[in-house]
């Protein structure tokens, strides 16, 4: 188990480095710059600004300076467009909003998705099974940036049941619509994965043996079938959180939430290099960490994974 954990950990470091390098180069290659305006600045002022933020240095030197600041001082640099704040301060003010949305959406998706998938597997080829799979197909095909405006229009504008925007300190009414928009596609995917895994396990030899021993059907399902049946869901948790975090960029914008998505979109449009890089590093680190946790959990639940070469 120790070597299995170390192998996963060592592969995460170069992955994060490649993501940061690719984002750094893409942002520099995009047209325009953080200090471009409609009115052309005098050359000497433009040169002073670039020298202040080290933008006059060669790209390799800029990248080394940026990575050194993160590794040695945990400093993501100043925001080019929000001069009174550093990137670290901006992330510190807003990360909890995105984290709360993502965690709430993933929790709801897991509970509902596993429940629906299990019901569909236990009632294969029945009306319940067909209904769950039809709903899952609809949920997969419709993205959350379409679901979010529809929910806002129906429940917020027409029925006036829920607020259509704003955070209000994380009040429950303000969270229902964005969390629902983020969770629905993941419920669809998780229910399909659970159904497929459960159907395969229910036909396996060890489940038939447990039933032959006279164990109650509920105990067979909970102790044997469910644990092995949700292994595909465990391996999907990392990509699921990735989808929730990247999807929240759009959903936060639609519902006007003060999360990291707002800063990421504004930073990309305004060419605020350090702000975009800071958000990307935070998201990438979270996704890599969650994938690492999912791999370890999978290894704990299935010993064949950690013992394979």
Q: Which residues pair with 86 in a beta bridge?
A: 78
- The helix/strand/coil state of 31 is coil
Query: In a structure prediction context, what are the per-residue pLDDT tens digits for the chain, which is 309 residues long?
Result: 666 667 767 777 888 888 888 888 888 887 777 777 656 777 787 788 778 878 888 888 988 988 888 888 888 888 888 777 888 888 888 888 888 888 899 999 999 999 999 999 988 889 999 999 999 988 888 888 888 999 999 998 899 899 988 888 888 999 999 999 999 989 999 999 999 988 888 888 888 888 888 888 888 887 778 877 888 888 888 778 777 776 677 888 889 888 887 788 888 888 888 888 888 888 888 888 877 777 777 667 665 555 554
How many Cβ atoms are within 10 Å of 201's Cβ, its own excluded? 20
What is the CATH classification number for the domain harbouring 233? 1.10.3720.10
57 belongs to a structural domain: no
User: What range defines the domain where residue 133 resides?
Assistant: 95-259
37 belongs to a structural domain: no
The DSSP secondary-structure symbol of 78 reads B
pLDDT given at position 249: 78
287 belongs to a structural domain: no
Q: What angle do CA 267, 270, 273 make, to 5 degrees?
A: 55
CA atoms within 13 A on the CB side of 50: 14
Task: Classify each residue of 104-134 as buried b or exposed e, where b means 16 or more C-beta atoms within 10 Å of its C-beta.
Answer: bbbebbbebbbebbbbbbbeeeeeebeebbe
Domain count, the chain: 1
161 belongs to a structural domain: yes
- Shortest CA distance to 78 belongs to which of 89, 94, 68? 89
74 belongs to a structural domain: no
C-alpha–C-alpha distance, residues 228 and 230, integer Å: 6
308 belongs to a structural domain: no
61 belongs to a structural domain: no
pLDDT given at position 132: 92
4 belongs to a structural domain: no
C-alpha–C-alpha distance, residues 141 and 205, integer Å: 35
- Shortest CA distance to 151 belongs to which of 114, 185, 108? 185
CA 156 to the chain's CA centroid:
26
């Amino acid at each position: 188990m120790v070597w299995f954990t170390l192998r996963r950990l060592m592969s995460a470091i170069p992955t994060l480095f490649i993501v940061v390098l690719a984002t750094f180069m893409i942002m520099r290659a995009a047209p325009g710059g953080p200090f471009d305006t409609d009115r052309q600045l005098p050359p000497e002022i433009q040169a002073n600004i670039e020298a202040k933020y080290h933008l006059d240095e060669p790209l390799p030197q800029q990248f080394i300076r940026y990575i050194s600041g993160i590794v040695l001082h945990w400093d993501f640099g100043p925001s080019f467009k929000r001069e009174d704040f550093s990137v670290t301060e901006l992330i510190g003010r807003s990360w909890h909003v995105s984290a709360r949305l993502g965690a709430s959406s993933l929790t709801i998706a897991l509970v509902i998705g596993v429940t629906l998938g299990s019901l569909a597997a236990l009632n294969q080829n029945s009306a319940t099974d067909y209904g769950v799979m039809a709903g899952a197909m609809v949920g997969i095909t419709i993205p959350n940036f379409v679901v979010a405006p529809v929910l806002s229009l129906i429940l917020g504008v027409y029925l006036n049941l829920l607020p259509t925007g704003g955070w209000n300190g994380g009040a429950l009414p303000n969270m229902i619509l964005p969390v629902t928009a983020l969770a629905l596609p993941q419920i669809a995917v998780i229910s399909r994965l659970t159904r497929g895994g459960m159907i395969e396990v229910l036909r396996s030899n060890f489940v038939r043996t447990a039933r032959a021993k006279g164990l109650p059907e509920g105990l067979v399902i909970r102790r044997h079938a469910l644990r092995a049946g949700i292994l595909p869901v465990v391996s999907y948790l990392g990509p699921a959180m990735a989808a929730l975090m990247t999807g929240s960029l759009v959903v936060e914008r639609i519902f006007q939430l003060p999360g990291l998505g707002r800063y990421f979109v504004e930073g990309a449009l305004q060419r605020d290099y350090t702000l975009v890089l800071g958000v990307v590093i935070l998201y990438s680190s979270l996704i890599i960490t969650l994938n690492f946790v999912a791999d370890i959990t999978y290894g704990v639940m299935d010993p064949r994974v950690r013992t394979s070469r």
